[in-house]
Chain A
């Protein structure tokens, strides 16, 4: 069996992995099906997290879509493209400019980003192009608000850090990071780890200082740390820090003043501090403010402090750079246009919108579209509304350029061919370009340069500064009617909306339904027994699910994994500008039997 090198397609860590390739299709041999192997020497040093272990399973999955479909019936690729041409042409003639929208996922290659921009501009005559960045949109907004430079040590050098400041459950969400951080921790007796998280997470297990604040107050804690560690206070973000009263902030955020000052001393005394933020499905309250202040703390002493935002989507950096140029509307505006009926035709590449926005409003909006075309690897809730579904290629079945966490380009080679009529997204986009663009010559592919920085965007700076100002007045989010704070939490084996991950047998067996986690003493007060179904209701919606006791929670907290649409129903359908992320801040809820 031949072994081929590639890298994982499921998050921005882009861990190297090896795939054992049988020599003949369809990848069944006497040794079994195509298998994933390990032992590489990149950042992951041969390790692959639970998500990455599914990479090959995804290729061989029996439910894989391998033919084009028109309203649930198989059609040829030629017929599918004829109908796409007819559908979008009709809309362009009838409604003109900006009547078509494009939504793509956050794992697109740089070639796909370039061709999508061309297709939107030259083919569809629209600015309505958006890249959906579930989980990462808010952190990306924080980076765009402050500007981010890649002139820091590589993520490979995390093990050389003498101290670490971690916001969120970084170890559980990006387990490969853990090896580097823990190596640093156990190699030096002086190594200190500060974790900011309202939940007693798998990362907080290892913390020397766990700033376990109230849900939603993480931004306020970061502001306090910035106030104590940044000397120069001359920008919009830092000016407001001068007036902060640390005692008052500690009280309102629910942390001890001593712990805050201890954490600030660790930051100030560090020779090589790594600051890490990881925010899967919005567990962190006001993640844009958190990211902005993490960046500013690092910029306070660039030689000694280094900021590493880690994302679940691979292409956040190139997408953020593109959005900074302001040539595209962004996913927020596109989804808003779809909801309000301004956009009549939609091209969706690898996003399950119906599962991501489970309030029913998105379903209604998708039904009202005049033409919907999806490119997907599996049938999902969104493709049920589609006029045409094209079978997409798996990441290992296509080639592309991706930007890693250090801003450097990495090329993934094509390993195997997609099944039957499967097509790489870039080929689909190029075919559409030739159909709709008036120019007869196809432009060549751009050669991509490594990223040096994410430029600061004034509009994002204004939004995040406003959010930071509002956060200064933060008080506990719970109210008399809604006495619990609800936070979303991650499940290591799931990502994005979870409609894909739940297809894998192991995942299905281990987490076949979502549960609410509450503190045992809160359950005792409400007379709730473990395993019993409880209703959690917010102003936006409610869900009824079994309950699991967990002492990791604070007493007035409820948590559930956000990768199920049942849980998403609790959050309001409030889209963040630009990144299109659903607002998944911690929210006040009531709990009843």
Chain B
């Protein structure tokens, strides 16, 4: 098992997680994301066949594939562990979205740049949670310290499934 990276520079890392047990597919998270980022929604949507449409957040990988893929160095791995893109530099070539192994960077271009989750850095700096997590109406999206995620949940990338599986078709 790959060991978890729980701290960066002595600070606990927090990540957005989706608990499928609660997700009702209402899309509030994606609308809040779009509204908060001036109509450029940063939460990619994954269409999982026979399951539904689920939000797909950036994992802010420890060793991100998108950063070296960027030809103009617009992608940056910050000291706090977040992967951020500088929109002023981005040329919209789409290299990052091809490099991302999780498909978390949306394929469509809006205002010439692909949508990329920044975990609402503006809100984090104010001590608040990302927009999608705060607006989530059913409590399915959680913002948790990586260290606090229990080991007994089945983790699939950034999602974790509770012990009770919901049958969906």
Contact = CB atoms under 8 A, between A and B. Distances in A.
Contact of A50 (B31, B36, B164): B31
Given A36-B35, A493-B31, A552-B169, A53 B135 contact: yes
A334 B25 CA distance: 39
Interface in A12-65: 32-33, 35-36, 38-39, 44, 46-50, 52-54, 56-57
A17 B5 CA distance: 36
A492 interface: yes
Interface residues of A, number: 38
Interface stretch (A126-134, A170-178, A238-246, A528-536): A170-178
Contacts of B145: none
A506 interface: yes
A200 interface: yes
B168 A48 contact: no
Given A200-B169, A202-B25, A506 B41 contact: yes
A206 B26 contact: no
A54 B30 CA distance: 12
A517 to B, nearest CB: 14
Contacts of A47: 28, 134-139
Contacts of B21: 186
A39 B31 CA distance: 16
A392 B28 CA distance: 27
Contact of A506 (B34, B131, B164): B34
Contact of A175 (B28, B39, B167, B169): B28
Contacts of B35: 35-36, 53-54, 56-57, 506
Contacts of B24: 171-172, 175, 178, 182, 202-203, 205-206
B75 interface: no
A182 B19 CA distance: 12
Nearest to B32: A53
A551 interface: yes
A551 B50 CA distance: 8
B166 interface: yes
Contact of A178 (B26, B41, B50): B26
A186 B21 CA distance: 9
B39 A179 contact: no
Contacts of B38: 32-33
A86 interface: no
A49 B169 CA distance: 24
A172 B28 CA distance: 10
B140 to A, nearest CB: 9
Contact of B31 (A53, A171, A176): A53
A202 B23 CA distance: 9
A183 interface: yes
Contacts of A175: 24, 26, 28, 137-138
Contacts of A186: 21-22, 164
A492 B26 contact: yes
A49 B35 CA distance: 12
Contact of A53 (B28, B128, B138): B28
A410 B1 CA distance: 54
B27 interface: yes
Contact of A172 (B25, B34, B164, B167): B25
A411 interface: no
A540 interface: no
Contacts of A50: 26-28, 30-31
A49 B132 CA distance: 11
B139 A493 contact: no
Contacts of B25: 172, 202
Contacts of B27: 50, 492-493, 510
A48 B50 CA distance: 27
A73 to B, nearest CB: 31
**Residue among B28, B50, B167 with max Cβ neighbours from chain A (10 Å):** B28
A330 B2 CA distance: 67
Contact of A179 (B34, B50, B137): B137
B166 A206 contact: yes
Nearest to B25: A202
Interface string B113-137: 0000000000000001001001111
Nearest to B162: A186
Nearest to A200: B169
Contact of B138 (A48, A178, A510): A178
Nearest to A203: B24
A493 B136 CA distance: 14
Interface string B21-61: 11011111011101110110100000000101000000000
Contacts of B39: 505-506
Interface string A166-204: 000001100110110011001000000000000010110
B154 to A, nearest CB: 17
**Residue among B39, B52, B134, B166 with max Cβ neighbours from chain A (10 Å):** B134
Contact of B134 (A39, A203, A205, A510): A39
Contacts of A182: 22, 24, 138-139
Interface of B: 21-22, 24-28, 30-32, 34-36, 38-39, 41, 50, 52, 128, 131, 134-139, 164, 166-169
Given A53-B135, A175-B26, 5 more contacts: A47-B135, A53-B32, A172-B26, A182-B138, A182-B139
Q: Closest 4 interchain pairs by CB?
A: A175-B137, A175-B26, A38-B134, A53-B31
25 contacts: A36-B36, A47-B134, A47-B137, A47-B139, A48-B28, A49-B26, A50-B28, A53-B31, A53-B32, A53-B35, A53-B135, A172-B26, A175-B24, A175-B138, A178-B22, A178-B137, A179-B22, A179-B138, A186-B21, A186-B164, A205-B166, A493-B31, A506-B31, A506-B34, A551-B169
Interface of A: 32-33, 35-36, 38-39, 44, 46-50, 52-54, 56-57, 171-172, 175-176, 178-179, 182-183, 186, 200, 202-203, 205-206, 492-493, 505-506, 510, 551-552
